[in-house]
Structure 1
Amino acid sequence: MTDHQDDFKALRKEAYDAMDRGALAESSRHFEALLQREPDDPYYHYMRGLAHKYMLDWPVALRHNLRAIELSDEAGEAEHWNAAIAATALGDWPQVRRLWTACGIRVPEGEGSIVDDYGVAVVRLNPWHGGETVFIRRIDPVRGRLLNVPLPESGHRFGDIVLHDGAATGHRFDGEHKVPVFNELQRLVPSEFQTFVVFVNCDSRDDLQALLDATAPGIGYAEDWTETVRYYCMRCSYGTPHQHDADDSGEWQPDRNLGIAAQSRKSVEKLLKDWVGAGGSRRIDGIETRECDIPEREDGHEWWRGPDEDE
């Protein structure tokens, strides 16, 4: 084997090893060097496009995936999906529609963005940092609108439209069916709703349900976080004094922690005032807001695989 072949083999190994470590910029540089030697290799174009997809660098991701499609002898699903994801992020809707059609995926007629019902799924927010999971209503093959009220620390809100990856990294039960879990890639459209963290006290589940079912102008959705957020004490985190009661006994917990999506604090106050006025022993302990930035993307591990994906 010549020195040239040895160098090329070593460069290939470095490119894939960097990808396996989650060192995306390094991997991209190596695949760029491979393409300088083999400019018409579709798989190197695909791999560089893949690195730039996870770098959220959409123009480069789209360019290399389209080149991979052009150079491939057979139509490959992966490069079509990754090109469609990048084109969706860029809002290139004619390109998006062509790519989904080439994949055999139905899209409604029209020329602009795709807005339809592609079912319910779960998305893992900021998968490179924490990875809170929430339900979404998919409006196209890789976009969904958040149906839950995510924690403020996620930087997301109820009603956000997010771009997600094409490959599922696990499944969750939605109460009736198993639904796929996708990694979020980017928030595309921020919601008009703010997230209010609300602490209340009530004597029964019926009291709580009355609040969750209540409607008022400016209210998007109310969610009981007490049963869904368990990895730390939310009241302690937000500085609301209270007694810690045992929560594994199966008995009703009067202290409830809620996330309420609303357009203003005034809307939340009106909702809670009406709820307290309709019950004898209902109490409001606090209303808090926190505005948090979306955590920066982090390299150094294969966050795109997801915790449920088999090695």
Structure 2
Amino acid sequence: MTREEDRELLKAAYEAWESENWSLAGELLERMARRHPDHRSAGVWWYDAALAYKFLRNWAKAYELGREAAARADRDAQEPAFWNLGIAATIMEDWSTARDAWRGFGLPVPDGDGEIVADFGVTPIRLDPASNGEVVWAQRLCPARARVLNVPTPESGRRFGEVVVHDGAPNGEREVDGRTYSVFDELLLFRASELPTTTVHVTAETPEDVRALAALFDEHGYAAEPASGVRVLCSCCSEGSVSQETDHQVGGGQQVNVAAPPAEISGLMEAWCSAAPARRSWTSPTAS
């Protein structure tokens, strides 16, 4: 190809990019990068091509081209090429490449050969952002994965304990006790949970009774959360800054979402009731 043909190829690639034709943009940028791998802009072309395939959720291609982009990026400089490669390598479960990518970005990760499991703190995650978009709290296991700590609503189709891969670009904020947390959008479900969500109706005289129910389920490795803690927000508000309270339990009759094996729910609920039968009762389990 002549220089003029190269210019036309690059022009077509970025016109496709502007129109969000990610498939064509990725294809043309990869072609340009392969034609001129030593060009001073080759790193940018590889990065943009990998990013286009990330937008397409074509993780195998994002991983393949992301390796080329990272190979041309500066280490320990928070170059986004390493971050995107870290996400793609995590999804492909190439843990060696994921570790190297996170370190290349400038993040410390534990040594090892297998899956990265560490404590990167808690963060809010927007589950299935293209659909329900429910925001839950999750424990970060690595820079790109987090385990769901809340009991998602039955309508969300998601479960307590699931591990999701999330994006690195914040999309909203949650403020709790004066601290601000970035909200990250889920990219995909990495590992499903075996614990279905069951909704029970309880009567609890005091907020302390509801806390006791949550504590009982937690002792067994499960979870219980009152539906009163769920706030319905429009997408615009959800993607903005939202202040949250750490304690939202209330007394009275209410719905509680629990995550536990269905066969164990009755026994746990009865144990909760028997500890204070004058104040506590429950009915109507429905599983999802």
Q: Is TM > 0.5 for Structure 1 vs Structure 2?
A: yes
Unpaired segments ≥5 residues, structure 2? 235-249
The count of aligned residue pairs is 266
> Over residues 98-154 of structure 1, what are the superposed CA-to-partner deviations in whole Å (9 max), with x where a residue is unaligned?
222222211112222221111111111111223111111111111111111112333
Change (3 A) 1:27 1:12: closer
5 Å-filtered alignment, 1:105-116, equals 105-116=107-118
> Over residues 87-107 of structure 1, what are the superposed CA-to-partner deviations in whole Å (9 max), with x where a residue is unaligned?
111111111122222222111
> Over residues 25-71 of structure 1, what are the superposed CA-to-partner deviations in whole Å (9 max), with x where a residue is unaligned?
35434545655765663222212211222332222101111112334
Residue 237 (structure 1) aligns with? none
Amino acid at match of 2:159: R
Higher relative contact order (CA 8 A, sep 6+): 1
**RMSD in angstroms over aligned alpha carbons?**
2.9
| Identical-residue share of aligned pairs (%) | 32
Q: Helix, strand or coil: the match of 2:151?
A: coil
Residue 244 (structure 2) aligns with? none
Q: Helix, strand or coil: the match of 1:150?
A: coil
Distance 2:69 2:45 in 1: 8
Which structure carries more strand by proportion? 2
Indicate whether 1:266 and 2:263 are aligned: yes
Contact 2:148 2:162 in 1 (8 A): yes
Q: 1:284: how far off?
A: 2.4
Contact 2:202 2:255 in 1 (8 A): yes
Residue 26 (structure 2) aligns with? 28
Residue 79 (structure 2) aligns with? 77
Distance 1:4 1:94 in 2: 39
Q: Helix, strand or coil: the match of 2:133?
A: coil
Change (3 A) 1:36 1:132: same
Residue 14 (structure 1) aligns with? 15
Amino acid at match of 1:271: L
Contact 1:136 1:145 in 2 (8 A): yes
Q: Helix, strand or coil: the match of 1:47?
A: helix
> Over residues 265-310 of structure 1, what are the superposed CA-to-partner deviations in whole Å (9 max), with x where a residue is unaligned?
12111122223333225332411112xxxxxxxxxxxxxxxxxxxx
Change (3 A) 1:68 1:198: same
Amino acid at match of 2:205: D
TM-score (norm 2): 0.80
Distance 1:176 1:198 in 2: 33
- Which deviates more, 30-39 or 124-133? 30-39
Amino acid at match of 1:12: A
> Over residues 200-248 of structure 1, what are the superposed CA-to-partner deviations in whole Å (9 max), with x where a residue is unaligned?
233332332232222488551111121324469xxxxxxxxxxxxxxxx
Contact 1:126 1:132 in 2 (8 A): yes
Change (3 A) 1:102 1:27: same
Contact 1:15 1:31 in 2 (8 A): no
Q: Helix, strand or coil: the match of 1:180?
A: strand
Change (3 A) 1:61 1:201: same
5 Å-filtered alignment, 1:181-192, equals 181-192=183-194
Q: Helix, strand or coil: the match of 2:50?
A: helix
Residue 242 (structure 2) aligns with? none
Contact 1:222 1:260 in 2 (8 A): yes
Contact 1:200 1:256 in 2 (8 A): yes
- Which deviates more, 48-57 or 137-146? 48-57
Structure 2 counterpart of 1:171, from 170, 173, 179: 173
Q: Helix, strand or coil: the match of 2:168?
A: coil
Contact 1:54 1:185 in 2 (8 A): no
Indicate whether 1:276 and 2:278 are aligned: no
